[in-house]
Structure 1
Amino acid sequence: MVRFPAWTVEASSAKAAASRLGVSINTVGTQARSIFAKLGVRSRVQLANHLHEEGVVGPGEQPEAH
């Protein structure tokens, strides 16, 4: 099973994810760019669509938190 950090699709913004995780917004941005680059996507919307298309999550589902 593929696991993704839940904040990549759950948080309303990078700032919200940073606050929730207790890290800087720069850390969130760096991690997001790394994940996006590995999957060939450019946004959280594209990430969600990619996860759905690959069958990792169904419509409206969240990826398993990691």
Structure 2
Amino acid sequence: MMSHQQDQILNFLKSNPDKTEKEIADGICANVYTLHHAIMGLKRFGLVRAKHEGHKVLWEVA
């Protein structure tokens, strides 16, 4: 079962792909630290994936 924050992350990324964790946190008014743990959970279930562009890690819906 997904948390409310994970649901917010997925909805945000559907409309705003290729965002950093900081941009996602700002977009859903969340703390970056707690958001990181929520994103890692989504990644484990194959719902989001990371793209590496230089030093940036961008997230999108899988």
With normalisation by structure 1, the TM-score equals 0.47
Larger radius of gyration: 1
Structure with bigger RCO (C-alpha 8 Å, 6+ apart)? 1
